[in-house]
């Protein structure tokens, strides 16, 4: 009797949700060739192509959409079985602090899946700059913090990944590589500091054309042609793309770290940390 691989199905669902092999690989911690091989095995087993490539995105075709609905149900049933047998049941309230760009791109999927598996755990999420989340005044307000830490800076957090900082723009908008217009978050943002630091070392003219704190606002401004920005690669929204040009300096990496500090609900905190680590680490 034929049997579908749950691992391949979960990869397939992640590709559909993220719109491409590379982003799915970033979340699942696998290379793009490994993701491609899993999808190929699934297509061979079903005897159908599942995706249509449009630009850099992989969009499910009719057969892919049909499989997506079944796959979500199969994975949901699988997760329900584990939830039914998991003891003890997790309960309580968790306060999560997370940078706004990850709250926009990473958090929705995590919250939905985590809340379904652990419905008795209430999540209270605050998005802010990493500097603010880790400040002495606010750090004690959270049970779990996901934050950006500059490479080389001592930290008591768990390193998830050294994420490359990349230049980001809208491929449908023209941008001038001879005079950079930048869309950046306010002072205190590590991306902003890194961009300005590297551009000051060059003779290329540049200006900050628009300043806004949240990723959705940055994305909207870029789509309106106001400029380009820099982001951690794993926080890249589907609407934008990585830019490469000889005039754009390399920006290095940023450490993404987790800080577990819950005293009331350590098991629930550890489980949420596992969810985040699986999608970022």
The domain limits of the chain are 6-85, 92-162+255-280, 163-253
Fold for 92-162+255-280, please state it.
Answer: D-Maltodextrin-Binding Protein; domain 2 (3.40.190)
Q: Is the CB of residue 183 less than 8 Å from the CB of residue 222? A: yes
pLDDT at position 214: 87
Which stretches of the chain drop beneath a pLDDT of 50?
Answer: none
| Cβ-based burial of 212 (10 A; exposed 0-12, middle 13-18, buried ≥19) | middle
**163-253: in CATH 1.10.390.10:** no
Query: What pTM was computed for the model?
Result: 0.67
Task: Give the contacts of 209 (CB within 8 A, at least 6 positions apart).
Answer: 181, 182, 183, 226, 227
Q: Which two tokens stand for residue 90?
A: 């997790």
- The pLDDT of residue 185 is 93
Q: 92-162+255-280 and 163-253 share one CATH topology?
A: yes
pLDDT at 264: 84
Residue 87 structure tokens: 């003891």
The SS3 call for residue 144 is strand
Instruction: Output the pLDDT for position 171.
Output: 85
- Domain 6-85 belongs in CATH node 1.10.10.10: yes
CB 20 within 8 A of CB 58: yes
Q: Which of 155, 113, 122, 175 is nearest to 259 (CA)?
A: 155
How far is it between the farthest Cα atoms of the chain?
66
CA distance 120 to 156: 29
- The CA R_g of the chain, rounded to the nearest whole Å, is 20
**Helix H segments across the chain?**
6-18, 21-28, 32-46, 62-85, 100-105, 107-117, 130-133, 190-199, 215-223, 266-280
């Amino acid at each position: 009797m034929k049997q579908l691989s749950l691992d391949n199905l979960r990869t397939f669902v992640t590709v559909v949700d993220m719109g491409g092999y590379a982003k799915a690989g970033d979340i699942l911690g696998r290379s793009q060739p490994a993701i491609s091989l899993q999808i190929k095995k699934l297509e061979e087993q079903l005897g159908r192509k599942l995706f249509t490539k449009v630009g850099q995105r992989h969009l499910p075709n009719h057969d892919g959409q049909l499989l997506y609905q079944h796959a979500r149900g199969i994975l949901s049933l699988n997760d329900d079985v584990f939830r039914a047998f998991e003891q003890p049941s997790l309960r309580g309230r968790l306060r999560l602090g997370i940078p706004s760009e990850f709250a926009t791109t990473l958090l929705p999927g995590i919250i939905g899946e985590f809340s379904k598996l652990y419905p008795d755990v209430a999540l209270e999420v605050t998005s802010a700059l990493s500097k603010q989340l880790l400040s002495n005044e606010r750090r004690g307000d959270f049970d779990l913090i996901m934050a950006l830490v500059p490479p080389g800076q001592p930290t008591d957090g768990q390193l998830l990944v050294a994420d490359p900082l990349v230049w980001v723009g809208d491929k449908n908008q023209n941008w001038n590589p001879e005079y950079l217009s930048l869309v950046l978050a306010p002072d205190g943002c590590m991306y902003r500091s890194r961009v300005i630091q590297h551009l000051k070392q060059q003779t290329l003219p540049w200006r900050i054309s628009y300043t806004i704190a949240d990723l959705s606002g940055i994305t909207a401004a870029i789509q309106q042609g106001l400029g380009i920005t820099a982001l951690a690669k794993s926080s890249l929204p589907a609407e934008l793309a990585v830019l490469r040009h000889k005039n754009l300096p390399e920006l290095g990496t940023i450490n993404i770290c987790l800080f577990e500090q819950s005293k009331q609900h350590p098991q629930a905190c550890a489980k949420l940390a596992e969810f985040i680590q699986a999608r970022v680490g």
